[in-house]
Amino acid sequence: MPIDIRPDDALIVIDVQNDFCPGGALAVPEGDAVVPVINRLIGRFPHVILTQDWHPAGHRSFASTHPGRQPFETIPWRYGPQTLWPDHCVQGSKGAEFHAGLHIDTAELVIRKGFRAEIDSYSAFSENDKTTRTGLAGYLRERKLNRLFFCGLALDYCVAWSALDGRRESFPAFVVEDACRAIDLNGSRAEAMAQFARNDVGVLNAAEIAA
Q: Can you give 30-59 as a three-state secondary structure string?
A: CHHHHHHHHHHHHCCCCCEEEEEECECCCC
One DSSP character per residue, 85-103 reads: B-S-SBTTSGGGSBPTTS-
- For 179, phi and psi rounded to 5 degrees? -105, 20
Closest alpha carbon to 93 in 19, 195, 169? 19
Distances (CA, A) of 34 to 95, 119, 129: 17, 28, 29
Consecutive H or E run containing 76: strand 74-77
Q: How many residues does the chain have?
A: 211
d(CA 184, CA 197) in angstroms, rounded, equals 18
User: CB neighbours (10 Å) of residue 4?
Assistant: 8
Enzyme catalytic residues: 15, 113, 158
